[in-house]
A = this chain, B = another copy of it.
């Protein structure tokens, strides 16, 4: 059995060795750029771990593991374009470094490449199932991104639909990675489905923690500036619940901070004020509980997978360290 670090090293080696030498080079340069930015490679590692629950030769599915990482990076590329984000992992985004058209077209080719790697070297008899799962997941992720865009201009987003949005936008890809690893290993369908649900819950916990850390993370280790979501009024789990709960004065205070025009206040002022409102309203505890709820649900589901505990240790460890991150 391999641990995260070993599998991460393996995946990074595979990605670095990818031949990206087709012409025209201007089309493939942004793809090389995006794939060389690094990242935690969570999805391919989860896929290899799920495979490794049932089979030892993880190299047999290296192509599918690379595929899911290419796919994930394509979504980041196009999402950054749609969100007009300037930076990703400390580097300029593709549409900033090149231009919008390069971001559209190189992203499109990455999606096609993801399908190529999904298909190539797919273990005998598994291709249909793999394609079906991958395609359904890709459609759902597009749906999640659409909801995310729509939520930006809505004032009445509820907790339930927010959870459904992050499930589609984030969780289903972790779930897909895990289930696909199991399917590729020829695991029983029930176990593959359990791993899918484990990934869903883990993804929800992970995304809610992202919301939480933006407010309550340790600035020394968080990597990004604390309070970024507050400053741009991003509809996070925190803000949505604050809105649902706020009454009277609290509601007025929250609304007035949201409506304030940029430049009419110091950023720290808004961050401190909104954080203090969250604190007063118990939003911190609410989010913390929700993270725990999904994490514990994930653990219960992984527990149901009919394998010895020690076999599942790398997955336990990875889930733990994903949720213990302060960055």
Identify which of residues 63-112 in chain A touch chain B, using a CB-to-CB cut-off of 8 Å.
78, 81-82, 100-101, 104-105, 107-109, 111-112
Residues in B whose Cβ lies below 8 Å from that of A149: 101, 105
Complex Cα distance, B83 from A100, in Å, reads 11
Q: Does A135 contact B109, Cβ atoms closer than 8 Å?
A: no
Identify which of residues 14-68 in chain A touch chain B, using a CB-to-CB cut-off of 8 Å.
22-24, 26-27
Q: Look across to chain B and name the residue whose beta carbon is closest to the beta carbon of A111.
A: B111
Q: Does A105 contact B132, Cβ atoms closer than 8 Å?
A: no
Q: Does B78 contact A146, Cβ atoms closer than 8 Å?
A: no
Binds B, one of A4-12, A113-121, A211-219, A234-242: A113-121
Q: Does A142 contact B109, Cβ atoms closer than 8 Å?
A: yes
Q: Look across to chain B and name the residue whose beta carbon is closest to the beta carbon of A120.
A: B132
Main secondary structure of the interface of A (DSSP, over half): helix
- Cβ of A326 to closest chain B Cβ, rounded Å: 33
Complex Cα distance, B127 from A122, in Å, reads 11
Residues in B whose Cβ lies below 8 Å from that of A108: 78, 107-108, 111, 142
Q: A115-B115, A119-B128, A135-B112 are in contact. Are A105 and B142 (CB under 8 A)?
A: yes
Complex Cα distance, B116 from A108, in Å, reads 16
Residues in B whose Cβ lies below 8 Å from that of A220: none
Q: Does B112 contact A142, Cβ atoms closer than 8 Å?
A: yes
Residues in B whose Cβ lies below 8 Å from that of A142: 27, 105, 108-109, 112
- Give me the interface of A with B, judged by CB distance under 8 Å: 22-24, 26-27, 78, 81-82, 100-101, 104-105, 107-109, 111-113, 115-116, 119-120, 122, 127-128, 131-132, 135-136, 138-139, 142-143, 145-147, 149-150
Please list 17 pairs of residues, one from A and one from B, whose beta carbons are closer than 8 Å in the complex, sorted by A's number.
A22-B143, A27-B142, A27-B146, A78-B104, A78-B105, A78-B108, A82-B104, A105-B145, A105-B146, A105-B149, A108-B142, A109-B139, A112-B138, A112-B139, A113-B139, A127-B131, A131-B131
